[in-house]
Structure 1
Amino acid sequence: MTTNTPSTRSTAGIASVSLAQPLADIADELGNSFAEYGFAVVRDHGIPQSLIDQAEEKSKEFFALPSGVKEGYKIDGGGGARGYTPFGTEKAKDANVFDLKEFWHVGRSLDQSHELAEFMRPNVWPSEVDGFEPTFASLYSAFEDAGLRVLEAIALHLGLNQQFFASTVEDGNSVMRLLHYPPLGPDAPEGAIRAAAHGDINTITLLLGAEEAGLELLSKSGEWLSVDVPKGALVINVGDMLERLTGGALPSTTHRVVNPSGEAASRSRYSMPFFLHFRPDYLIEPLDGSVPSESDDFAPITAHEFLMQRLREINLA
């Protein structure tokens, strides 16, 4: 079962840049790639390979646990924001069948006296996997540092102060997802794929583990393009929140993870996206002059209100 078509081709035009370079030197290359594709690839992002390897090992350990154990970490009424979300739960907006995946969410830890604590539930940690909490707490922090550097480059591209985004994402409701796509089985629903076509809700997404073929984006011409990623690099894509803020100048591109064929269909796929969010109370409205004032597509809305609206659409709230 595969959704690849003859029209799928490589995205040779997507920027692939080193974050070790001065941001002023790469800002427009990144920004132009986001404007055209909604995607870019970054290398030298500062997340240690040893931490990535350790996180991949812990993720595989968790998903190998018995279903009953994993489902003990499912939090009813939590919208999947923390802990475990079982196979057959999430579906893309407007999709008729569920995605072929299960996942675990790690979020920001805030003291209960914090002014934004009401928007963020405490994390839960599986006791069955040694070192799970310190590994993913460290990875969360490293993702956040890399994401802030990408946002600084975006700010420069947009002609803003380099630190423009720092206050907008401070204590934001960012979520790290550990994803497991199991081997394809004969009883999968007709038309189901690992991740159906969708756009991300958040500000930007940073994705680790996309080296294996399957990730595709939908170009402006309506062609599915495969995203080719060097080992250890991050795939970055624009989310709906940033699209709203920029009045569509940086688009949140539809993308998917298609089912593999041949030997790859019989093995699992693992990845780790980090969904970087604005603060829950941040009012998302277009930057001055970015869209006509009569446009309703980018009406002001708080990040929390927008998040909840979208979670309901994908069956998580």
Structure 2
Amino acid sequence: MEDCPWDPEGVEVCLDPEGQLVDRRAAQGVDLRALYKRLVAARCLDLRVERLGLPMWVSCAGEEAVSVLTAMLAGQEDWIYPGVRDFALAPIRGLDLDDFARQILGIAADGERPYNGRPGALAAADLGIAYAPEPLGLHLPLAAGQAHAQKLAGNGRATIAIFGEGLTTTAFFHETVALASACDLPLVLVCKSQLWPEGAPAEAGLLGDSVAERVKACGLWSRRVDGADVVAVHAALDQALRRARDARGPGLVEVVVTQLHAGTTDADIPAHRDPIERLRRHLDREGQWTPTFQDVIEAEVRGQLERAFTHAHAKEMGR
């Protein structure tokens, strides 16, 4: 395949744009068909919530690999501090869809008073999902504090914080990295770097190096992977979490993603930049995908979502 300006440089590759596994060892023990179902569910969820027209709502289309794999790989007692685009991880981690719809709409459990948070915000303490505060980047030092508590407890748990590369120029980010490195915290930072061929790369913002390279200078372990390659993202996140739980120090996984939602750009984004399409190509090669399989997944998820939002609206109306 010819070089494409949409393909990121300096990233690890396990699943190429045509859906061929470059490194089959990275996919050992991974149920790619089950992973595909969760990715499709996340996309269906994103499309359904986008129809609500919520203020300050941002789509996660093209970034599903981070949310889905974080939810799948985090342990039951690990904590997740999501960014504003990572709402899809909540149902995958176990949040009931009725509760999900209620929180998305800003409705309290009793339907009588507003939920204590803005519409579109999610939190589930029993599932280890922290509330994303409105000030951008504030969740990073909070995640570091959570990781510090885990280290003091010595319970072999880890904390994951997800954010965009724009926050790497803020004090919140640098303070978090400094604290994580100095205290050897069980913290995994997941940075989503945007890829736009017509614009400056994320690494042009500071010193000309990628985020993964910059944090190495601060003493953090790091890896840089393609967000459209779900196998590579799985391998990197899994290794980072294992290191953190084994008290081998904090780490950062930089995931280069391409936003796919409408209105992002006028450019013709190639299909292989979609993590769902790339994995679909692989499953098709392996004889594990059919149009019927796709239709069944989407119909099931959409039906569940419609029922959940119908219940939430009924609760809001007092019926």
TM-score range, shorter chain: under 0.3
Larger strand fraction of residues: 1
TM-score calculated relative to the size of structure 1: 0.28
